[in-house]
Structure 1
Amino acid sequence: MRPASHLLVNTPDIEIWPGGLLRARSNHDARALSRARHVLRRKRDGQYLAADLPEGLLALVPRLRREDGIETALFVLERLREPQRAGIDAIGELPLDRLQERLHALGLDETYAQRTGLPLVAEPTMLTLAGFDRYRRPLWLVPGAARAWRSMHAAALLDDVVLEAISGYRSHDYQLGIFERKRARGLTVEEILTVNAAPGYSEHHSGRALDIGAPGEPPAEESFENTAAFAWLRDNAPAYDFAMSYPRDNPHGIVYEPWHWAWRGA
């Protein structure tokens, strides 16, 4: 059983975060988050919904009980509150039943999978804290990937090489948000698809993949291949079951991504 203080527990619409990790966006949030054992956060837009305080649940939005998926999230929260449990036993996967809705929002259909050869990727029901990324945001991965990342990061440091995590787990809804923001900047869906997989098809959904950078280098740029960090990964990452997912001329139509590595362990 894993301690709840290091877990992000995932439900289809709402994430349950451990207290002390989320940044406050207002004085009201700051007071609640400073005392919260857990925080319920809407996956679609990151809105904080409720804080689990010692004296009970504090709603952070009006009409909390009308939120999509709130009953499921509150049921899981009750389990986390039970002293004899203090954690979640096993990792499962969330259903993929809303995938078509997300694809249709981008004008895509099932032919996308046939065209790219990318598999569907379910979200895990639980992720563990693997440290923090370049921007001091919590880095969430499934437990095996988190252990492998910490070991690989420490080994690189012994060789005077700094590996910086840029991005880890991303939900289907977060991936859809990436497309919506890029479309708002004038990019077409086809242009975005050369860099980002469609919602439901990104390895980041699995909690096994992360983007890696080096100090002083811009994130997610091909120039990363010229760094000592990339050279170290090329020579040593396989020993930790990490592999680069999108080499040059990969069959999925995704641009060369020397920064994107995924854990292939059991």
Structure 2
Amino acid sequence: MHALDWHLVNSDAIEALPARLLRARANADARALAQAPWLLRRKRDGRFLATTGNGRFRALVPDLAREPGLDAILDALGAPHERAGIPYELPLDGLVAHLQALGLDTSYGDAVGLPLVAEPMRLEYAGRDRFRRPLWLLDPAARAWRRLRAAARADDIALDAISGYRSHAYQLGIFERKLARGLTLPQILAVNAAPGYSEHHGGCAIDIGTPGQPPAEEGFEATPAFAWLHRRAGEFGFRMSYPRGNPHGIVYEPWHWRWHPAG
């Protein structure tokens, strides 16, 4: 399979990824990853659960049969991921329950003017980010990012990805860890979007940096890379989501750009 055809298959609790893209944490995991096309990984904490494919299934944790969501991801691996070119999205029911457990409801979205963002059932491999992690984006956003980066390179501008798709479970984990450290919900919301309300969940947003510049800092706006993006990113469908004085009350993020479909 060509690298540009690799993809992530999504479900509410577990994701399936091309095994060869992942680094094993133990020798036994390394052998399993080398022998199977797919790795099943728990979204909440990144735990490797099993490998599958080529007629083989190998558990990497004890009591795998009790793992919530196992049947759903196995079904998703064999299911269609779009209809008439429109990607399928995961339902939001489970997320709403998690938000209520945090003490949030739809009034948060109304207050900041942001919609709940569903996760796609399939995301495409778009290379690696600055930290050598696989970068996942919705297919047209992945293609646009590759074209954008190539055009910048032709103009002697180096762009790198800081992060792309992030799951609801990942964002929920941030909130739970910060609450456990004693932070209040308003303190966390001052710097983190509530789970489900980040543009990163939809696979069309990407945090962009340039080598030598710290990631996700306002100083990015003083770089030649930002000046280039300001001039040319629109040609590839990318727009900065949170300029100064944006109506959502989100801090200025010159590094955060989202791909928008034409039309």
Task: Give your verdict on TM over 0.5.
Answer: yes
Q: How does 1:193-212 map to 2 (within 5 A)?
A: 193-212=189-208
**In the alignment, does 2:230 pair up with 1:234?**
yes
Q: How does 1:96-135 map to 2 (within 5 A)?
A: 96-135=92-131
What is the letter of the counterpart of residue 154 of structure 1? A
Q: Structure 1 residue 99: deviation in Å?
A: 2.0
Corresponding residue for 1:10?
Answer: 10
SS in 2 for 1:246: coil
Corresponding residue for 1:73?
Answer: 73
What is the letter of the counterpart of residue 41 of structure 1? R
On the 8 A contact 1:14/1:43 being kept in 2, the answer is: yes
Q: How does 1:84-95 map to 2 (within 5 A)?
A: 90=83, 91-95=87-91
Corresponding residue for 1:63?
Answer: 63
SS in 2 for 1:20: helix
What is the letter of the counterpart of residue 34 of structure 2? S
TM-score (normalised: structure 1): 0.91
Distance 1:236 1:177, change over 3 A: same
On the 8 A contact 1:242/1:264 being kept in 2, the answer is: yes
Aligned length: 258
Stretches of structure 2 lacking an aligned partner (at least 5 in a row) = none
What is the letter of the counterpart of residue 28 of structure 1? A
Corresponding residue for 1:248?
Answer: 244
On the 8 A contact 1:130/1:146 being kept in 2, the answer is: yes
**In the alignment, does 2:130 pair up with 1:139?**
no
Cα offsets for 1:157-200 (capped at 9, x unmatched): 01111111000000100111222334455543323323321111
Cα offsets for 1:64-94 (capped at 9, x unmatched): 12111111212233x28xxxxxx85652100
Question: Which one of 155, 158, 166 corresponds to residue 159 of structure 1?
Answer: 155
What is the letter of the counterpart of residue 39 of structure 2? V
Alpha-carbon distance in 1 for matches of 2:176, 2:55: 39
What is the letter of the counterpart of residue 26 of structure 1? A
Alpha-carbon distance in 1 for matches of 2:4, 2:220: 35
Identity %: 61
Stretches of structure 1 lacking an aligned partner (at least 5 in a row) = 81-86
Cα offsets for 1:28-78 (capped at 9, x unmatched): 21111122210011111111110115451000111212111111212233x
Distance 1:231 1:123, change over 3 A: same
* Runs of 4 or more above 3 Å deviation: 2-5, 87-90, 181-188
On the 8 A contact 1:196/1:254 being kept in 2, the answer is: no
Corresponding residue for 1:26?
Answer: 26
Q: Structure 1 residue 249: deviation in Å?
A: 1.2
Alpha-carbon distance in 2 for matches of 1:9, 1:53: 13
SS in 1 for 2:143: helix
